[in-house]
Amino acid sequence: MANTILVGAQWGDEGKGKIIDFLTDEADIVVRSQGGNNAGHTIVLGGEKYVLHLIPSGILRRGKVCVIGNGVVLDPVALVGEIEGLRARGIKIAKNLLISGSAHLVMPYHRALDEQREVLKGKNKIGTTKRGIGPAYGDKAARTGIRLADLMNEPVFLAKLKARVKENNAVLKSLGAKPISAAKVESAYLAAAEVLRPFVANTVVALHDAIAKGKKILFEGAQGTFLDIDHGTYPFVTSSNTTAGGACTGSGVPPHRMDNVMGVIKAYTTRVGEGPFPTEDDGLGDRLHEMGREFGATTGRARRCGWFDAVAVRYANMVNGIDQLAITNLDGLDQVERIRVCTAYRLDGKKISVLPTQSDEVERCQPIYTDLPGWMSPTERATKYSDLPANARSYVETLAGLIGTRLAIVSVGPGRDQTIRR
């Protein structure tokens, strides 16, 4: 395996963390290049569950380096909490973590704005994670952001903080929300700065040095293709480029150094938050929730569930250039007799086979399904591709065929050993 970009090819929570943990065995470095602690990447190791929000999912493997790149927005207090939580569980975090000084900070006024804007949107809310992600990227684009490097320089940070709190408090008040106390932010952020200082590095140079030495890098996408700010179901999206290109801009590693793109999909579809979801099916959702599955790793919200949408994932293949596919949660369909796969849509009376670009059109799309027979037997103990029931193999091969890409990995449980290479 050479340098690989791993992306979610649906609406997030495809099982990226689990697949990254599996692939890290053959990599040297794992990089997060976009998103923030809106992400929740779950790894189950030796029966223990770890949920990572900002730290790359390679951290559980000794001897591997994890990098938080310039494209990430980070809440320093949340990051310190995550580092301390992992250390308390015996995970070493020292020279194996590098953080870009150019990463923008998520500030308390970003969280307050995120929350209040959602309240004001009422029934048109996005259903954000309320982690302040949109307002933080908004400040970055408006060139009013504060970066981690600023936090490392106390007088610079305090001057920027003062100016930004003043402006944001005026906005918060105008929106009917409570202002932020600059003094509280100052003490909490300066305390976090001291914990984070040893990790701050020029991650662009570190990654290029590693490439020159022949090291292998895994780029861990957060969120998923249809939450992408450009290619997703806008405005029901997150505020970063979650698609393959985001790995380049968010890390400083150019496209010609990327060797392949792995797309991760669930064997069905889930979505958290509002926005169009053509194949949503409450019956399938009830079934998965009764099994204790599909509750959000970050917010605990029940995920909306539906059938596999090949029209959408074909689009994801187009914008990401997926070379290899990893299919997760196949075991979630073990007891489903008739499995539906959406192969086209009906939009305003016309049959279409391409995902529309506008959310209101996606909202009006009626799925056209092909039904496939289930396998009605457990798959969680399968360790080789040939262990899978014939109908399960036929199902995953049908999905790969519909998407037009190569199937590389099938996952049949949350554990590292429940991963099958094709």
Catalytic residues, which ones? Answer: 13, 41
CB 420 within 8 A of CB 388: yes
Q: Which residues pair with 351 in a beta bridge?
A: 346
Choose the stretch contacting Mg ion; rule: CB under 5 A; options: 246-254, 296-304, 339-347, 367-375: 296-304
* Pairing of the two strands 324-328 and 260-266: parallel
Residue 343 belongs to what H/E stretch? strand 338-347
Distance (Å, rounded) from C-alpha 314 to C-alpha 336?
24
Please state the φ and ψ torsions of residue 391, each to the nearest 5 degrees: -65, -30
35 part of the interface to ligand GDP, by CB under 6 A: no
Binder among 24, 33, 70, 128 for ligand IMO (CB under 6 A)? 128
Rounded least distance, CB 9 to ligand GDP, Å: 10
Distance (Å, rounded) from C-alpha 388 to C-alpha 411?
11
269 part of the interface to ligand IMO, by CB under 6 A: no
Binder among 127, 179, 374, 389 for ligand IMO (CB under 6 A)? 127
58 part of the interface to ligand GDP, by CB under 6 A: no
Choose the stretch contacting ligand GDP; rule: CB under 6 A; options: 9-17, 116-124, 206-214, 342-350: 9-17
Instruction: Give the contacts of 228 (CB within 8 A, at least 6 positions apart).
Output: 237, 238, 240, 241, 242, 243, 246, 319
Applying the rule CB under 6 A, the residues between 167 and 196 that interact with ligand GDP are: none
Binder among 17, 132, 245, 275 for ligand GDP (CB under 6 A)? 17
Angle, alpha carbons 142-56-331 (nearest 5°): 115
Instruction: Give the contacts of 367 (CB within 8 A, at least 6 positions apart).
Output: 278, 279, 307, 309, 342, 344, 345
Q: Percent helix, strand and coil across the chain, each rounded to 5? A: 40, 20, 40
**Separation in Å, CA 372 to CA 144, 154, 300, 392:** 52, 61, 31, 10
Distance (Å, rounded) from C-alpha 357 to C-alpha 355?
6
Whether cis (ω within 30° of 0) applies to the bond prior to 235 is yes
Choose the stretch contacting ligand IMO; rule: CB under 6 A; options: 104-112, 216-224, 340-348, 382-390: 216-224
Binder among 5, 13, 83, 210 for Mg ion (CB under 5 A)? 13
SS3 27: coil
Binder among 3, 9, 15, 53 for ligand GDP (CB under 6 A)? 15
For residue 336, which amino acid is it?
V
CB 254 within 8 A of CB 34: no
Q: How many residues bind ligand GDP (CB under 6 A)?
A: 20
Site string for ligand IMO, 314-353 (x = CB under 6 A): ----------------------------------------
CB 5 within 8 A of CB 247: yes
Instruction: Give the contacts of 218 (CB within 8 A, at least 6 positions apart).
Output: 3, 4, 6, 20, 23, 24, 27, 29, 30, 31, 58
Nearer to ligand GDP, 8 or 246 (CB): 8
414 part of the interface to ligand IMO, by CB under 6 A: no
Contact of residue 129 among ligand IMO, Mg ion, ligand GDP, none (CB under 5-8 Å per partner type): ligand IMO
314 part of the interface to ligand GDP, by CB under 6 A: no
Nearer to ligand GDP, 8 or 134 (CB): 8
Binder among 314, 329, 372, 382 for ligand GDP (CB under 6 A)? 329
Applying the rule CB under 6 A, the residues between 82 and 121 that interact with ligand GDP are: none
Binder among 35, 40, 245, 367 for Mg ion (CB under 5 A)? 40
Rounded least distance, CB 240 to ligand IMO, Å: 8
Applying the rule CB under 6 A, the residues between 281 and 320 that interact with ligand IMO are: 297
Q: How many residues bind Mg ion (CB under 5 A)?
A: 3
Contact of residue 411 among Mg ion, ligand IMO, ligand GDP, none (CB under 5-8 Å per partner type): ligand GDP
Sign of the torsion angle spanned by Cα atoms 177, 145, 254, 217: negative
Site string for ligand IMO, 29-58 (x = CB under 6 A): ---------xxxx-----------------
Residues at the interface with ligand GDP (CB under 6 A)? 8, 12-18, 40-42, 44, 297, 328-329, 331, 411-414
Residues at the interface with ligand IMO (CB under 6 A)? 8, 12-13, 38-41, 126-129, 131, 133-134, 222-224, 227, 238-239, 272-273, 297
